[in-house]
A and B are shown apart, each in its own frame.
Chain A
Amino acid sequence: MRINEHPILNFEKGSKVKFYYNGQALEGYEGETIAAALHANGVRTMRESIHLHRPRGLFCNIGNCSSCLMVVDGKPNVRVCVEKLRAGMYVETQKGKGELK
């Protein structure tokens, strides 16, 4: 969900791009974080906890806490709260610790 009007702020957006979330095509704006683009599409779950497989989302949103790790273009453990969205990105829910290929 996006904010359409704001009394103080003007949101400058990059160009509209398509990206993929677990295979599903979504739209976001270039230059915003992956987490912001996912939230704008109503997606708040980013990964599964390692042992109990509980859903995990965003917590600090500034790159501190590692709650939001996802697999981005095949690379695991990407902090999507600080990683910027680019056209055609492939973003997946991370399960487990992730493996570098």
Chain B
Amino acid sequence: MRQTEICIIGGGPAGLTAALKAANLGASVTVIDRNDYLGGQLIKQTHRFFGSKQQRASERGINIAKELAEAVHNHDKITVFTGATVLGYYKDGVITVEHNEKLITIKPAKAIVATGGAEKNLLFPNNDLPGIYGAGAVQTLVNVYGVKPGKRVLMVGAGNIGVIVSYQLLQAGIEVVAIIEAAPKIGAYWVHASKVVRAGVPIYTKHTIKRAWGEKEVAGATIVQLDDNWQPVPGTEMDLDVDVICLSVGLSPLTELLWQAGCEMKFVPELGGHVPIRNQQLETTVAGVYVAGDVGGIEEASAAMMEGALAGLNAAKALGYDAPDFKEQQADVIKELTGLRSGPVGEKILHGMAKVVR
């Protein structure tokens, strides 16, 4: 059995930031990630980030991923296991991990769960045909491996992910036929929307996909307009000649380990599904188990990094580690996080948080 002071599950923006903050205070940290690289979904974010200067605004996600991963790999207080899948969290606080087809057991003093989220699916006839992907899946194919999913794409969902991935498809030389959105308003930041619209991609709000066509693979899609009660308007169907359909209809937190650990959970639609009850320190109802990033509520990478920083600081502090400027560091992170959520787009998150933060 391996011992470590803080075990961080998930090496994405939240997990890596948590690791650095905790290790800088002096804690010994183990980071586990099932991929064979660190960075999580940051490694395919080619666009420039929003946020403040401190949150690396205007830098591309791919570069942030590289920097964070390098810092974590080079830190002598941090041990990294990549290609390692956490299998279970047991009552006595033992974490089991599959690594290179061998079982490892780890007993940490504190755990930070930063497992992120998973893309949701949507119900419509033929939604299981090859050629229908999560938007993030296509983003991985295109931006990590340089491979096209097809020639002509219908994007379902005009939130930030749908619109940003559409833009990235255009950059890769792939045609995006349309972006449709069931809601009456575009959910993405409008600047992202304007960027794809001027490049020739129409966005149809109050539209949904009625069905996909094709025998063995996607060969087309029918979209339809929705009325104010979200019901299809007869006669407004439109057939689109596409061979790829991307679904960008939200994410749900990947919370299996938290359920196993016995954390008290609550269904909060604003945060994407079931999320753990936590205190201001981001500690769940199971003492010593912290959360950071999308697993605690779907948000975005800048907020995930700030939450990671907070969880890392708090977990290390709870182990007795300290720094002369600890209070300042903590206050700084909280200030940044509050800033991120203080505008109109943060309202939904704050509503959700109010239901789970005790």
In the complex they form, whether A and B have CB atoms below 8 Å apart is answered with: yes
Chain A residues in the interface with B (C-beta under 8 A): 1-9, 11, 13, 32-33, 35-36, 39-40, 44-46, 49, 54-65, 81-82, 84
Interface string of B74-100 (1 = CB under 8 A from A): 000000000000000000000000000
In contact, A57 and B129 (Cβ under 8 angstroms): yes
Query: Is B233 engaged at the interface, CB distance under 8 Å to the other chain?
Result: no
Total residue contacts A-B, CB cutoff 8 A = 105
Q: Which of B128, B146, B254 contacts A3 (CB 8 A)?
A: B146
Known contacts A8-B171, A60-B118, A82-B35: A55-B142 contact under CB 8 Å: no
Q: Report the interface size class on chain B.
A: 35 or more
Interface majority SS (helix, strand, loop, mixed), chain B:
loop
Main SS of chain A's interface residues? loop
Cα distance A33–B145 in the bound complex, in angstroms: 8
Please give the distance in Å from A6's CB to the nearest CB on chain B: 6
Across the interface, do B141 and A36 meet the contact criterion of CB distance under 8 Å?
yes
Residue pair B148, A61 in contact (C-beta under 8 Å): no
Nearest A residue to B144 via CB reads: A36
Q: Mark B110-154, 1 if CB is under 8 A from A, else 0.
A: 000000001101000000111111101110111111111111000
Q: Is the CB of A49 within 8 A of B128?
A: yes
Among A39, A54, A82, contact of B141 (Cβ-Cβ < 8 Å): A39
Name the residue of chain A whose CB is nearest to the CB of B117: A64
What residues on A are CB-neighbors of B118 within 8 Å? Answer: 60, 64-65
The residue of chain B having its C-beta at the shortest distance from the C-beta of A36 within the complex is B145
Question: In the complex, which residues of chain A have a beta carbon less than 8 angstroms from the beta carbon of B137?
Answer: 58-62, 81
CB distance from A20 to the nearest CB of B (A): 19
List 13 interface pairs A-B (beta carbons < 8 Å), by A numbering: A3-B142, A9-B146, A39-B141, A39-B148, A39-B149, A58-B133, A58-B137, A59-B121, A61-B133, A61-B134, A61-B141, A62-B41, A63-B35
